[in-house]
Amino acid sequence: MPAIELSHVTKNWGKFYAVDDLNMLIEDHAFVTLLGPSGCGKTTTLRMIAGLETPSSGRITIGDKVVFDSEAGINVPPNKRKVGFLFQNYALWPNMTVYDNIAFGLKNIKEALPRVHAEARQASEMLKALEKPEELAQLVKDCQGEGGKLDKKRALLHLIDRYGISTFTAEKLLAYKLDQAADPATTAADARKSLEAVLDEAEKSAKAQGLSFNADYEYLRDGVTQTEVRRLTKEEVDRTVRQVGRVVKIGMFMDRYPAELSGGQQQRVAIARTLAPKPQVLFMDEPLSNLDAKLRLEMRSELQRLHLQTGATFIYVTHDQLEAMTLATKICLLDNGTLQQYAAPLEIYKRPVNTFVADFVGNPSINFLPARGTQDGEGTFQLTVMDHYAMRFVPESALDQAALFQEFKADQAAGRDRQAQLKKENADQLFEVPVARVQAPLLEDDKKAYDNQDFWIGIRPENLTIGDEGPLEAEVYSVMPTGMETTVKLRVGDFLLTAVIFGSILYQIGDKVRLGFKGQQAVLFSSLYGRTLCLGKVEVE
C-alpha cells in the first residue's frame, strides 16, 4: 500500500481559499482522520486526493505515482488512482440482492490481472479443507435439520465461512458427502489423491512452458507474476464477495434486498462493496453520520478491525472529534483551509500547538485561564491568573521566551502564522479563546489588545482536583454525573472552571470546595500569538 504526499496543495475559488498550502505525508497503512469544524476544507482535501476535485495548485503523489501536478499538467482521473470511496449516502441498488450489490463492481473490472490456473487453485483450497476430514464432516453434520435432512444452504455458508472459499468450491466439497461416510478419513484420502494429481499435472504443464506458481496458483516467470488483461472469473467474483462479506459479517444476508436490512447492516454492505475491489486507499466521508449512537460505536470498532485486516490506507473525514481521536493513527486538524496540527491523537490532545487546537479536541473542553506576567531568571513564569491569583508556571524544560517570541513574530511576518493566514481571506471566522465567566463581560471589555505579557494557561478538566485540600477556594456551580464520571463546574471568583472526576461523587450546588492542579500537563499559550509556549506545572503562591 502506498504513502500519499501532498505538497503545497491549494484550492481556491476566486479569493476564497478552501484549502491553503497544505503539506502532508500520509504514511503507508495509516488511518488518517481529517478533522475540523464545518467548512474548514476537509471534504475538499479528501476529494482532491481522490481526484474528484482539481486543486488550483500543488502536487499529490500516491505511492511512487504523481497523480496531480499543476506545473507538469498531470491529473490522473479517479478511476485510475486505485482508490475506494465510502460516503454518508451509500445508496445501495434497491433492486439487487446484497450479493449482487457487492458483485456488481467486480464484474465490470477489466484490467491487468494475474494469470491463474483456476483448477489448481481450487484443488489446493479443497486439499486444505480435507486436511482435517473429521472436522469437515462435523461441520456439515451440524447443518442437519430435523430428521437428519441436510440444510444445504446453511452448510454451504458454513464451509464458505470456515475455509474462505467460493460457493463453487464449497459445493464440490459438499459433494464428497463426508458427513455420511462411515469413515471420513478414507473418503478424504481418496479425494486428496485425485486433487493432488490435478496439482501435479498443473505443475508439469507450467514447467514445460518455463513457468512456476505462487501459493495462490498464479503463474510466475523468474519469480515475477504474469498478468493478462481480463475480467474476473465467476469463481473469483464469488470468492471475493464471500470474503468481504465475512469480514463485515453479512454472510447470512447475501440473498436479501437492501430494504430487508437495518441501517447498520446496509452500511456494512456498502463497506463490503467498497472493499471488494481491494482499493489501496479507502476514502470515507462521514460514513457513520446517518447511524444512531450505539451503531456508530459498533461500526467504529468494525472500521478499526477492517483497517488492520485489509492493510489499506484509510482517509476519513469527520467533524466528530471523538471519532477522530478513537480511530486515527494520525489526525489532520484543519481550520479555515489551513493545517493546524498533524499528529497522533494523544499528541494533539496533550501538546496542542495553538489555542484553537487545544479548544477543538477534548470533551469537556480545556479550561483557559487568563494570566499576565513575566518569566523570571530561573525560567519560571510569575503570573497573576484570573485577575487575582498569584501563580507560578514552571515549564517542563528550559524555555527561552524571548527567542520563541522572535520566532512567532517572524512566522507572522512571513504569513506562516495561523492568525496571519486567517486574516488574509476568511476573516469572518476568527477563533476567539473561550473564557467561561459567571457573567459575560460587555462587548467593549472583550476586545482586549494583548502584549508579550499576556498568556493563557490551558488546563484539561481531568487535571483539576476537587476536595478538602487545595490552594484555591471554589464554589460548586453545577454537577453532571454520568455514572462513570462526573463533570463539575466550579466558580472561582468571576470565572468558571470545568473539572471531571472519576466516579459519581455527589456535590451540591453551592458547596464550598478546595481546588488544585495536578500533573505537568498544563499548557502555556501566548495570548498575543495564540500559540503554545510550553507544557508545565501550575503552582499557587
Q: Give the residues lining the site for ligand ATP (CB under 6 A).
A: 13, 16, 18, 36, 38-44, 319
Please write down the long-range contacts of 484-490, taking CB distance under 8 Å and 24 or more positions apart.
Answer: 487/364, 487/461, 489/436, 490/464, 490/466, 490/515
Contact 114, 219 (CB under 8 A): yes
Contact 354, 418 (CB under 8 A): yes
Rounded to the nearest whole angstrom, what is the least distance from the CB of residue 529 to ligand ATP in the complex? Answer: 25
Helices assigned H by DSSP within 311-343: 321-327
Rounded to the nearest whole angstrom, what is the least distance from the CB of residue 52 to ligand ATP in the complex? Answer: 11
Strands 367-375 and 472-481: unpaired
**Phi and psi at residue 405, in whole multiples of 5°?**
-65, -35
**Cβ distance to ligand ATP smaller for residue 35 or 457:** 35
Rounded to the nearest whole angstrom, what is the least distance from the CB of residue 38 to ligand ATP in the complex? Answer: 3
Residues linked to residue 226 through DSSP beta bridges, in sequence order = none
Rounded to the nearest whole angstrom, what is the least distance from the CB of residue 39 to ligand ATP in the complex? Answer: 4
Rounded to the nearest whole angstrom, what is the least distance from the CB of residue 361 to ligand ATP in the complex? Answer: 16
**Cβ distance to ligand ATP smaller for residue 269 or 291:** 291
Contact 194, 126 (CB under 8 A): no
**Cβ distance to ligand ATP smaller for residue 36 or 55:** 36
Contact 122, 235 (CB under 8 A): yes
The strands making up 512-517's β-sheet, listed across from edge to edge, are: 464-467, 512-517, 472-481, 485-492, 495-502
**Cβ distance to ligand ATP smaller for residue 83 or 250:** 83
Provide the 8-state DSSP code for 319. Answer: S
Nearest to 83 by CA among 71, 67, 107: 67
Q: 404 burial class (0-12, 13-18, 19+ CB within 10 angstroms)?
A: middle
**Cβ distance to ligand ATP smaller for residue 33 or 521:** 33
Rounded to the nearest whole angstrom, what is the least distance from the CB of residue 34 to ligand ATP in the complex? Answer: 8
Contact 200, 208 (CB under 8 A): no
**Cβ distance to ligand ATP smaller for residue 38 or 209:** 38
Rounded to the nearest whole angstrom, what is the least distance from the CB of residue 423 to ligand ATP in the complex? Answer: 17
**Cβ distance to ligand ATP smaller for residue 13 or 502:** 13
How far is C-alpha 17 from the geometric centre of its chain's CA atoms?
25
C-alpha cell at 105: 463492481
CA distance 274 to 34: 20
Rounded to the nearest whole angstrom, what is the least distance from the CB of residue 85 to ligand ATP in the complex? Answer: 15
**Cβ distance to ligand ATP smaller for residue 238 or 335:** 335
